[in-house]
Chains A and B, each alone.
Chain A
Amino acid sequence: MSVMSRAGALFDRSRVFDFLIEGQPPPALDLKHNVILYLEGITVSFDGFRALNDLNLYIEAGELRCIIGPNGAGKTTMMDVITGKTRPDAGSAWFGQRLNLLNMSEPEIAQAGIGRKFQKPTVFQEHTVFENLELAMAGDKSVWKILFAKLTPQQRDRIDEVLGIIGLPDLREQRAGSLSHGQKQWLEIGMLLMQEPELLLVDEPVAGMTPQETERTAELLVSLAGRHSVVVVEHDMDFVRSIARTVTVLHEGSVLAEGSMDSVQNDPRVVEVYLGE
């Protein structure tokens, strides 16, 4: 009977097929409660090892949040969950009020406005610096559009502007694979800027940078907060202290403490697992 009723529904003459409804936009990012990211009860296990254990984390819109924690605390796994690389065993992850991250693929999440900088800088080695930025540029990334895409003068200016911000304007035609480690880090930050994301996930941005470069990175991230929301995972405590307003400490896959850098540093549990070592 269910087959019959389903067939009946299919041939119902007042039925409107979804694909016929024109201009139905995907649900947009909704920030009416001023929270951009909700992670609730997230649990991820790898072969019995719980990388994330009932993790709860909320990021406010425009916030700059630092996440610290010893190795294996689940920082990278958390980013994998947010960007769609890893599916959690339990829990929910929402981007704003209306976008359920657990139902979206990696490209959909990226298109919705979450950009990620990886721990190990991963730029496209065979492409030039300019092409790396061009590839990352926000816009329609469907096959047909990209096949006939031409850079508009505005887009070209935007790429030049970002080249200036990341300090690589003289290396625009250079192969990205030939850059130094620090330059690759910067290029990846530039790619993140080109994506114009609402939420930036930045994994160890200053690893391998000189003190001057670290300082410039700190300035850049602070300047981004406000217009964008930024989540930074970092080991360098001095760097965290220089930029952080709120710090979250992860330990064994869940949140151990949260608050200002000073309050976190004086928390005896945090001292025990991490800072005291």
Chain B
Amino acid sequence: MAASSLLSRLLPMRDDRGSSAFFVVLLAVAVAVPILHLAVPEGSALHLSTYTVTLLGKYLSYALLAVALDLIWGYCGILSLGHTAFFALGGYAMGMYLMRQIGSRGVYGDPVLPDFMVFLDWKALPWFWHGFDMFWFAMLMVVLAPGVLAYVFGWFAFRSRVTGVYLSIITQALTYALLLAFFRNEMGFGGNNGLTDFKDLLGYDLQSSNTRVALFLCTAIALGLGYAASRYIVGSRFGRVIEAVRDAEARTRFIGYKVENYKLWLFTFSAALAGIAGALYVPQVGIINPGEFAPINSIEVVVWVAIGGRGTLYGAVVGALLVNYAKTVLTGALPEIWLYALGALFVVVTVFLPQGIVGLLRRKEATA
């Protein structure tokens, strides 16, 4: 417990055992997974396959997305039903970098143009693909593309005081519009097929074990840092203001807070976090296509957070991990019942556990 006491001194999270537990578990997983994969010989019962490492990395990127959503929904009451739009934009920015890294190793062997552009008979790289051969530029876009979109969207939505269910509907429309746009070949993002067939990242082969472990570790670190930043925000006076906005928006205005600015910056930060999650997701799953913009995906993220327990951050992580693990198991065993199971789980949690799974644990603790 030395690590947790050190962390609680570094971060303003006294009385927050959930967050301390999160950091201890994350640290343990980040140490154990590489060892079990690289040091334990194959064939041993404790050996983790490359598949498992990648799967865990994918779960962690989902957890970061869930934290981003919990930040705006659980703490500020902004129910975004389009948050995977920002996740997918971050993913596309990373995907564009990976496409440019393929170079002449593509099927058509064009040194500059990605395969799908050659196939569409394009002669030159569209202007918005320039710069993505540079890693730093792509990483900047991972944060900027979702961040700027969220800022512009939020500027209009929050200034017009669109709230509640209306805002949720507009976020759905946003992600759906992007879905339709990215499906078009003319958009220049690979259309229906999206971006795939990636070879390497910063010169490291994406298929190798070491790269997979490194990506897993990067995701774990990003989740840890994203969580810590979010925890700082909700623990600060800013956090108390956004909770006040959630509970009584008009009242918050009358004591002198410009509510729309608070919402705008929180929303933008959350979108940038979602973009980072998407950028870590893409190299691990090896593809990004317009399906990631599907409104149903965004709703699924909301379900993770609701099931885990909103307004706690660690609840979002728990929800994302549990639901996605259940999804992996169930879609493998009984693919046709997964959506029913998810729906049933959501209804049960909403009716019987309004605080989610972590709320159940906390209640037990309180009665014990």
A contact set with B: CB distance below 8 Å: 83, 85, 105-107, 110-111, 115-116, 118, 122, 124-127, 131, 134-136, 138, 141-143, 146-149, 191, 195
Residues in B whose Cβ lies below 8 Å from that of A142: 258, 261
Q: Does B244 contact A (CB under 8 A)?
A: yes
Chain A CB within 10 A, most for which of B236, B243, B256: B256
- Cβ A143 vs Cβ B238 within 8 A: yes
B252 nearest CB across to chain A (Å): 8
- Cβ A124 vs Cβ B247 within 8 A: yes
Given contacts A143-B261, A143-B262, contact A134 B237 (CB under 8 A): yes
Chain A CB within 10 A, most for which of B254, B259, B262: B254
A231 nearest CB across to chain B (Å): 15
14 pairs, CB–CB < 8 Å, chain A vs chain B: A110-B253, A116-B254, A122-B251, A125-B247, A127-B243, A134-B237, A135-B237, A135-B240, A135-B241, A135-B255, A138-B256, A141-B256, A142-B258, A195-B256
Residues in A whose Cβ lies below 8 Å from that of B241: 135, 146
Q: A17 to B345, alpha carbons, bound, how many Å?
A: 58
Counting contact residues on chain B (CB < 8 A from A), the size range is 20 to 34
- Cβ B250 vs Cβ A191 within 8 A: no
- Cβ A149 vs Cβ B253 within 8 A: no
A239 nearest CB across to chain B (Å): 24
- Cβ B253 vs Cβ A106 within 8 A: yes
- Cβ A135 vs Cβ B244 within 8 A: yes
Chain B CB within 10 A, most for which of A116, A146, A148: A146
Q: A125 to B251, alpha carbons, bound, how many Å?
A: 12
- Cβ B237 vs Cβ A126 within 8 A: no
Q: Does B153 contact A (CB under 8 A)?
A: no
Q: A135 to B259, alpha carbons, bound, how many Å?
A: 13
Q: Does B248 contact A (CB under 8 A)?
A: yes
Residues in B whose Cβ lies below 8 Å from that of A146: 236-238, 241, 257
Contact partner of A83 (CB less than 8 A), chosen from B236, B240, B248, B254, is B254
Contact partner of A131 (CB less than 8 A), chosen from B240, B248, B261, is B240
| Chain B, range 234-289, C-beta contacts under 8 Å to A | 236-238, 240-241, 243-244, 247-248, 250-259, 261-262, 265
B239 nearest CB across to chain A (Å): 9
Residues in A whose Cβ lies below 8 Å from that of B238: 143, 146-147, 149
Q: A101 to B191, alpha carbons, bound, how many Å?
A: 53
Given contacts A124-B248, A142-B261, contact A106 B254 (CB under 8 A): yes
Q: A106 to B248, alpha carbons, bound, how many Å?
A: 14
Q: Does B233 contact A (CB under 8 A)?
A: yes
Residues in A whose Cβ lies below 8 Å from that of B248: 122, 124-125
Q: A107 to B259, alpha carbons, bound, how many Å?
A: 8
B244 nearest CB across to chain A (Å): 5
Contact partner of A107 (CB less than 8 A), chosen from B243, B244, B258, is B258
| Chain B, range 152-178, C-beta contacts under 8 Å to A | none
Residue ID in chain B nearest A139 by CB atoms: B256
Residue ID in chain B nearest A128 by CB atoms: B240
Residues in B whose Cβ lies below 8 Å from that of A138: 256
Residues in A whose Cβ lies below 8 Å from that of B243: 124, 126-127
- Cβ B257 vs Cβ A134 within 8 A: no
Q: A141 to B257, alpha carbons, bound, how many Å?
A: 6
For the complex of A and B, the 10 pairs showing the least CB-CB separation, nearest first, are: A110-B256, A106-B253, A147-B238, A149-B237, A111-B256, A107-B258, A124-B244, A122-B251, A136-B255, A146-B238
B156 nearest CB across to chain A (Å): 17
Residue ID in chain B nearest A112 by CB atoms: B256
Q: A191 to B244, alpha carbons, bound, how many Å?
A: 13
- Cβ A127 vs Cβ B256 within 8 A: no
With contacts A107-B256, A125-B247, A146-B257 known, what are 13 further pairs, Cβ within 8 A? Answer: A105-B253, A115-B255, A118-B251, A122-B251, A124-B247, A127-B243, A134-B240, A135-B244, A135-B252, A138-B256, A146-B241, A149-B237, A195-B256
Q: A142 to B256, alpha carbons, bound, how many Å?
A: 9
Chain B CB within 10 A, most for which of A106, A127, A136, A138: A106
